[in-house]
A and B are shown apart, each in its own frame.
Chain A
Amino acid sequence: GAVVSQHPSWVICKSGTSVKIECRSLDFQATTMFWYRQFPKQSLMLMATSNEGSKATYEQGVEKDKFLINHASLTLSTLTVTSAHPEDSSFYICSARDGTNQETQYFGPGTRLLVL
């Protein structure tokens, strides 16, 4: 149980284009999902909290117009990197909080984004 998937697993795009990453909780409902960014050899940095049916809350320093988050259902959150640039290249990881076990977050396998 408690499986989180991400799609795509990797993506290469041209500078200036937008990329959408999906995060799904497969066997539980997630009222809250989180989006993280991880640079090579570094730790995870929380970007934003995605709440079903409401606006996402962003961490300090994260551009909300750059990283659009939509959480339209209890099992799906999407992160769209708009007008991507090479500095947006990173490993993006989502997690979902199980409502019955609220302290624990279950992580997706990550999406590697390369912007050329």
Chain B
Amino acid sequence: AQSVTQLDSHVSVSEGTPVLLRCNYSSSYSPSLFWYVQHPNKGLQLLLKYTSAATLVKGINGFEAEFKKSETSFHLTKPSAHMSDAAEYFCVVTRGNDYKLSFGAGTTVTVRA
């Protein structure tokens, strides 16, 4: 079975400082992993994805994530937070060959001016 654990329900950072959102997964096979962002009352936007290629994945808006198989982690980072980064972030893993997705509980990011 596949599962996703987002270790922080809420992260608060100052504008211009780094952001780290932590995600651990468990899977009985080699999954694909994603980070999605959801702004209030909006749908989900794909930030980046890992599909067994390079372990360091670069996404949109300056985000990147590193896949560490030994640690079963896929943490999301951004070197300098912007006010527009305030949103809900979901770490997501494929459940199997049927391409269904399992979502983490989400991390709410707030950015202080």
Contact = CB atoms under 8 A, between A and B. Distances in A.
A43 B104 contact: yes
Contacts of B49: 103-104
Interface residues of A, number: 23
Which range contains the number of B residues in contact with the other chain? 20 to 34
Contact of B51 (A49, A103, A106, A110): A103
Contacts of A97: 99
Contacts, number: 47
A8 interface: no
Nearest to A106: B46
A44 interface: yes
B42 A110 contact: yes
24 contacts: A6-B43, A34-B100, A42-B106, A43-B104, A43-B105, A43-B106, A44-B90, A45-B103, A46-B101, A49-B100, A93-B43, A103-B32, A103-B51, A104-B34, A104-B46, A104-B49, A105-B99, A105-B101, A106-B46, A107-B43, A107-B44, A109-B43, A110-B41, A110-B43
Interface of A: 4, 6, 32, 34, 42-46, 49, 93, 95, 97, 102-110, 112
